[in-house]
Structure 1
Amino acid sequence: MLKNIKNPFLRIGTIALVVIGGSILLMVLSVYLGVWGKLPSKQELSDFKYQRASEVYSADSVLIGKYFLFDRQPIQYEEVPKNLIEALVAIEDERFYDHSGIDYKSLFRVAFKTILMQDQSAGGGSTISQQLAKNLYPREKSGKFNLAISKFKEMIIASRLEAMYSKEDILMLYLNTVSFGDNTFGIESASLKFFNKSAKKLELQESAILVGMLKATYGYNPRVLPKNSVNRRNLVLQSMSSNDFISQKEADSLKLLPLQLDYRDYDYSEGIAPYFREEVRKQMLNWTKEQREKGLDYNIYTSGLKIYTTLDSKMQMLAEEAMGQHMKVLQNSFEKSYGKRAPWIRDKKLIDKVIQNSGPYKKWKKAGLSEKEIMDSMNLKKEMRLKDWNQDEMRSASTIDSLLHYLKFLNTGSLSLDPKTGAVKTWLGGINFKHFKYDHISQSKRQVGSAFKPIVYTAALEKGISPCTYFSAQEVAYENMEGWSPSNSGNKDEAYLNYSMEEALSKSVNTVAVKVLEKTGIPNVIEQAQKMGIETSLPALPSLALGTAEIKINELAGAYASYLNHGKSVTPFLIHQITNEKDSIIETFKPVVAENRAFSEETGHIMLEMMKATVNSGTAARIRSTYGIKNDIAGKTGTTQNNKDAWFVALTPKLLNITWVGLDNHEIGFSSTSLGQGANAALPIFALWLQKLNADKSFDPITKAKFPNPSSAVMSNLDCDPVKRDGFFKRLFKNPKKKKTKDFKTGNTKT
């Protein structure tokens, strides 16, 4: 055939075309046969899975968080507005409905312009199906030759996809996998991020903005380059008009609209219940590990799991509001109380310790820097944003300035749960997850102070000690305990007073608590705590009565629940159910309630009445007087030595709450008991929260619930004078300023 071509130039051109065509065919064949890497089979394409973000829901069906490597929330075709589909087809693949994966007309146009006319702006000629293939199987190598190989691979995969899926399926596979920048994949996540609405609610001009981004996710990002984004949007609108999806008049009208974003960047530290979400994440990681051991491959970042939790989102938001409201005021009072003598200003020994225990100091020390070099680096000023209750602000500060700034912050842990099941309703792990990652509910062990006393009194009742037994409030020095002498704060006349157990608990009298412990026996008290679900090792010392044991909030909450649950403790739990992306149940978690009672029904009722007295007339009485709360409440305040830990435990018929307030650095406490006592530092968080719950009628079933009336037997056991004063002659011969001395009966043998 070539012999018949007389013109040498034409002959050379023909030969060149044959060689090029043959080379292309050979390359396509080699790609098809897998010479340059295995192509996905039809089976793989029919059941492929793309990474899906796992979603976390509250008990009231509110999406409160996501776990993902790539932020992606797949949706169905019916959930995408028609205008978005039309915008996509108009600008990306106008013959989408006419081809079978490869648009040869567009491909030849691009080839002609790029190769013969050297027009580098001619585009790539890729169809939506080819772009989908690229999304599903990203290119691994760069370079012109590898680019050509990748293009052929994508064409073959696109053809296979078209043979297996409908056009609607391909559109959704594409829209659910395509990147919109900002670590966001899929149209639903992009819609939520840029416009704070579901994709199905997008207006036409908003759809055009998102579709326009697909050309260049950074170059047309409306947050970063709004002018470019609007220009690209207008081009999309014009393409829609050219393809008869909208009229020219409508396109021109929409082009005049200003860009209006409602950007919501998903920051793991922000949003509702960040500490709770982090604890759920940790528990889910353990769960997936257990599943892998069973041969089931679940991943919280890629499997699209739906995690349904026990949290009440509305309660949580109100709890966070109450916490912020109180802690802002308390922080201000705390700093003012110290003034210029504050330990974070004056205590050089403490400051040096904080610096040397910091991450930057240890890093530079390990790198071999001298002490002077380290301190020079840590004193170097730079612009940084420092958290403050009034407002976060940019300041010129050093690493040391930052360390000392955060050293002075009071923190908190507050947990509420259903006492019948242990289902967690609210979880405040701290004041600010972004700056204080440490969770004061699940991670922190702090001395519980007087919050432990009810367990002591419960053990006493179980041992047969009558609640009307009187104990002297006189201070005692225990010689066999190196002269240890617990004291009370307040009444100077207390040496002459004898308290009933109810009055002593409601007024939180330390000297009496120790004497109740002594009479009951330390081993009996420890055993009682264990029956109530306390697993922490407790010190077998008299100071146990004053709460020197360090216990986690969630552990203490499980024990206190027994007073509201017929003597049975619970294990607080956060996750109710886990499903796959199609809402098929994978696992349901049941409440963990103790099988056996920790104490008798009568003991539980007596303890509840004693803790009611704490709220009505004892150390927690300000919940009535200051906050005007009339709900049925029992409770216990707690304050530890040197005012380092403040506690309040609130028991209501259907809700249990435990709140702790203090500083992360154990060496710093409140400057005074009046400021740092549980009733002042911790109680207000609960009181303000309950006020908010009372104001919302939807919580009436909880807030208006009543305790059952105590039986006549219980009331008879408590029917005694709260306090008895020493007689005249006993007072005459007693020196109230002189401590009584004796040995503490350790009770190492059970009685």
Structure 2
Amino acid sequence: MGNPEENMRYHKLLSYLWISFLGILVAIPIYLLTVKVNFLNLYGSLPSITILENPKSDLTSELYASDGVILGKYFRYNRTPVQYEEISKNLINALLATEDYQFEKHAGIYLSGIARAFFLSILLHQNKGGGSTLTQQLAKNLFKTRSEQYQGLLSKVPFIKTIIVKTKEWMVSIQLERAYTKKEIITMYLNTVAFGNNAYGIKVAAKTYFNTTPDALSVEQAALLVGILRAPSYYSPTRFPERALRRRNVVLAQLCKYQFIRPATYTELKQRPIELQYKVEDHNQGIATYFRSAIREFLLTWTKEHGYDLFEDGLKIYTTIDSRLQKHAEEVIAEHMRVLQKRFEQQWGSENPWVDENGKEIPNFIERSAKKSDIYQHICKKYGADSANVYMETPIPTKLFSWEGEIDSLISPIDAISYNKRLLHAGLMAMDPHTGHIKAWVGGINFEHFKYDHVMQGKRQPGSTFKPIVYAAAIDNGYSPCYEVIDAPVTFKMHTKAGTWTPKNANGVYTGKKMTLRQALSKSVNSITAYILKQIGPELVVDYARRLGIKSPMNPVPALCLGASDVSVYELTGAYSTFMNKGIWTEPLYITRIEDKHGRVLQEFVPQKKEAINEETAWLMLHMLKGTIEENGTFRGLSKEMRENNEVCGKTGTTSNHSDGWCIGMVKDLCTGVWVGGENRSIHFKTLATGQGAVTTRPIWEKFILRLYADPDVPYNKGPLPKPTMPLNLPCMQVQSDKTMATKQLTEFNNPPLNDMNSLDNEDAQGSAEIEKDSVDTYINADEVF
């Protein structure tokens, strides 16, 4: 026997070890139990069973075209889920070989990993991966177990905090393994993990880096993506390609080590360079960018009212837009606007295009515009108004839009504003007049540089394109397209200092000849439109504009006959569509239904409809508008290709000083509105020949329609316009035989008033004159520019 004292010490040590061991055996369950129940809020809560069984991650909401194409997305984190069957086996193998080779065998954790995590990560503070299984990583990513919402009173103690966090992740991992299959866990992991560059989840990552789908990933592509997961910023293949290459080859080596690929394959693949097709999805790219932005406010309102989050609930929004028509529309706008911009620059040369009614440059135009800009307001807020002018004149790196490609420039903000003011803008909307479905929406020339939408948001004077509404009101109240009126001056009494107003024709000449209403509309004769408005009253015209869906402010003044009140492309296209839909105004519709992430329909949308005019009036208006071609009117320049075996009608418009060019054109099953102009009304072409709607907008409409006819995949073909249900008799006679009125007109023609548009005050005449090739009146109020 040994020394009694040594034996005593040995037995005491053995007793201490057993007590410690038994204490640990007792303490661990107690510790785990207190963590589970969050005893005294010491540890912070765990995700509930309900949350574990119904995990939620931020999912991208997707916007679909009517032909199934994804138009765009709304997201905070760009993430779109896929199913296990949609994931390449190459990716699964690379993930398991690199991150968790024992994945199929463990129950969420494995002891060797826990021991490594305890000694290296916790005791020695060395970041060696922590022994985390894929399930643990999923717990951390999906349920954010380290976030503030899961912290308790002990979470502020550094060492203790780490132990608690790891414990919770182990516990959640075990629960996940009980709730889900291995395939479900790996799918959730790949759908939620971040790959850098705003790519969350494997579907977006495959698209971002390789422009492919998860099921089509090659071995080396899969290896690169799995390699990125270790540290997305550090191993970014776009910023640090050498690091990314080394990391990819590490993953390939792991694939070889665990016999997922042969050594010869590994040797061959590791020699390959990284080949990316990199493109980050953002809100400025893709098709229908203006449309996506324009309906965003509606969607935000809808989701708020219905308890959803547009940016994280993975909604599927189905729209009426046809991606094929949208693409054609965007390409035609770009093609024609490039030509117009070049012509505009050649015409103005070194002169500034912002001029007053006398053609003189408006003093301090850019300075005044600059003070309204967002950048000026930002500078004032950050540095103070006194310093704003200095910063506005200091050159800074700036990207400028041009039709030849984006320009990287060192330019001052005020010079950049001057540059942008010289650019022409455009808007186009095409809709099915029968269903109300909007098929194409182009709100401008480049969304990344110019966010303002010229379809719904922008409103400008429509000029002669408003005249059909005047005639529709008249015909619906007893007038006929055959009603004859003498082309003579029409004078209105005004409640102004001027006293009276007499709108002029194109060259100030009145022929004194009789014209039918159809002929007058086709040639856009101002005097006859004014005569009709005077007979029926501007209040009635406003009433009919409202019936036809125009909601913009509209004063019942004489200048209304020449398109004085601002309207949008959205409103005016919807109004014209009524003529093609038997007099039924159908609200332009852009969304058909919204579904949740599971495909459950949350709401279906149908357009509002109402009878605006009777069917006979609607057909007569189509007959009237066909006169712009058949009566040698403002649509007479259409190509033979457009006219042949086809029925077409429409109207162009041009406002004062050629500031706004308009065209509303109609063919079988499609009504399309187009606007072109400067950012401000004072910015325009110098001459009518270059600035009228027949030159700036009608070619866009015609090219767009001809592209549709030439595309076999687009369901639009030549054919007749709608016909009336009952045959109509159009006697070429006046509704009224009013010799007294005819005599009065001739008397006024022989003794015309001396006043003109310039005598009107701003309220009654603001920009009310209309310029057409056959009918011109010149007026502009420079004050309205600001």
Same fold (TM over 0.5): yes
Partner of 1:330: 340
Partner of 2:444: 430
The answer to whether the Cα contact below 8 Å between 2:366 and 2:414 also exists between their aligned partners in 1 is no
The answer to whether the Cα contact below 8 Å between 1:55 and 1:304 also exists between their aligned partners in 2 is yes
- Of 300, 309, 331, which residue of structure 1 is paired with 2:319? 309
Partner of 2:545: 529
Relative distance call for 1:114 and 1:512 in structure 2 (3 A) is closer
- Residue 513 in 1 paired to residue 563 in 2? no
Count of aligned pairs: 724
- Residue 124 in 1 paired to residue 130 in 2? yes
Question: 1:223, CA displacement in angstroms?
Answer: 1.5
Partner of 1:747: none
Question: 1:175, CA displacement in angstroms?
Answer: 1.0
User: CA–CA distance in 1 between the matches of 2:121 and 2:189?
Assistant: 26
User: CA–CA distance in 1 between the matches of 2:301 and 2:178?
Assistant: 41
Greater shift, 242-251 or 710-719, is seen at 710-719
Secondary structure, counterpart of 1:697 in structure 2: coil
User: CA–CA distance in 2 between the matches of 1:47 and 1:411?
Assistant: 48
Secondary structure, counterpart of 1:523 in structure 2: helix
Deviation per residue, 1:553-600 (Å, 9 max, x gap): 212222211100000111111111111222222211113221x2x223
Question: 1:15, CA displacement in angstroms?
Answer: 9.3
Relative distance call for 1:718 and 1:67 in structure 2 (3 A) is farther
Partner of 2:775: none
User: CA–CA distance in 1 between the matches of 2:104 and 2:661?
Assistant: 68
Question: 1:451, CA displacement in angstroms?
Answer: 0.8
Partner of 1:395: 409
Question: 1:61, CA displacement in angstroms?
Answer: 0.1
User: CA–CA distance in 1 between the matches of 2:17 and 2:127?
Assistant: 27
The answer to whether the Cα contact below 8 Å between 1:335 and 1:342 also exists between their aligned partners in 2 is no
Unpaired runs of 5+ residues, structure 1, are 292-296, 721-728, 745-751
Counterpart residue identity of residue 374, structure 2: G
Alignment of structure 1 residues 380-459 onto 2, 5 Å: 380-459=394-473
Alignment of structure 1 residues 131-150 onto 2, 5 Å: 131-138=137-144, 139-140=146-147, 143-150=158-165
Relative distance call for 1:67 and 1:353 in structure 2 (3 A) is same
Partner of 1:56: 63
Relative distance call for 1:19 and 1:711 in structure 2 (3 A) is closer
Alignment of structure 1 residues 206-221 onto 2, 5 Å: 206-221=221-236
TM-score between the two structures when normalised by the length of structure 2: 0.86
- Of 94, 105, 122, which residue of structure 2 is paired with 1:98? 105
Question: 1:496, CA displacement in angstroms?
Answer: 3.3
Alignment of structure 1 residues 133-212 onto 2, 5 Å: 133-138=139-144, 139-140=146-147, 143-212=158-227
Secondary structure, counterpart of 1:687 in structure 2: helix
Partner of 2:771: none
User: CA–CA distance in 1 between the matches of 2:383 and 2:312?
Assistant: 41
- Of 485, 497, 507, which residue of structure 1 is paired with 2:502? 485
Relative distance call for 1:7 and 1:261 in structure 2 (3 A) is farther
Relative distance call for 1:288 and 1:732 in structure 2 (3 A) is closer
Question: 1:414, CA displacement in angstroms?
Answer: 0.8
User: CA–CA distance in 1 between the matches of 2:533 and 2:412?
Assistant: 50
Question: 1:20, CA displacement in angstroms?
Answer: 8.6
Partner of 1:262: 277
Deviation per residue, 1:485-539 (Å, 9 max, x gap): 312225x764333321111101111111111111222232222222222233422
Deviation per residue, 1:643-666 (Å, 9 max, x gap): 221110011120010111112223
User: CA–CA distance in 1 between the matches of 2:402 and 2:481?
Assistant: 48
User: CA–CA distance in 1 between the matches of 2:85 and 2:608?
Assistant: 41
Partner of 1:724: none
Question: 1:308, CA displacement in angstroms?
Answer: 0.8
The answer to whether the Cα contact below 8 Å between 2:659 and 2:677 also exists between their aligned partners in 1 is yes
Counterpart residue identity of residue 579, structure 2: Y
Deviation per residue, 1:186-236 (Å, 9 max, x gap): 111111111111111111111111111111111112122111111111111
RMSD: 3.2
Counterpart residue identity of residue 248, structure 1: P
Unpaired runs of 5+ residues, structure 2, are 149-155, 356-360, 735-742, 761-786
The answer to whether the Cα contact below 8 Å between 2:488 and 2:748 also exists between their aligned partners in 1 is no
User: CA–CA distance in 1 between the matches of 2:746 and 2:88?
Assistant: 91
User: CA–CA distance in 1 between the matches of 2:302 and 2:510?
Assistant: 55
Partner of 1:726: none
Relative distance call for 1:119 and 1:629 in structure 2 (3 A) is farther
The answer to whether the Cα contact below 8 Å between 1:177 and 1:186 also exists between their aligned partners in 2 is yes
User: CA–CA distance in 1 between the matches of 2:485 and 2:745?
Assistant: 16
- Residue 318 in 1 paired to residue 321 in 2? no
Alignment of structure 1 residues 77-116 onto 2, 5 Å: 77-111=84-118
- Of 572, 577, 583, which residue of structure 1 is paired with 2:588? 572
User: CA–CA distance in 2 between the matches of 1:507 and 1:281?
Assistant: 41
Partner of 1:655: 670
Partner of 1:300: 310
- Of 32, 52, 66, which residue of structure 2 is paired with 1:45? 52
Partner of 2:606: 590
Partner of 1:285: 300
Relative distance call for 1:409 and 1:18 in structure 2 (3 A) is farther
| Percent identity of paired positions between Structure 1 and Structure 2 | 36
User: CA–CA distance in 1 between the matches of 2:247 and 2:177?
Assistant: 29
- Of 679, 685, 710, which residue of structure 1 is paired with 2:694? 679
The answer to whether the Cα contact below 8 Å between 1:306 and 1:581 also exists between their aligned partners in 2 is yes
Secondary structure, counterpart of 1:427 in structure 2: strand
User: CA–CA distance in 2 between the matches of 1:422 and 1:360?
Assistant: 39
Partner of 1:667: 682
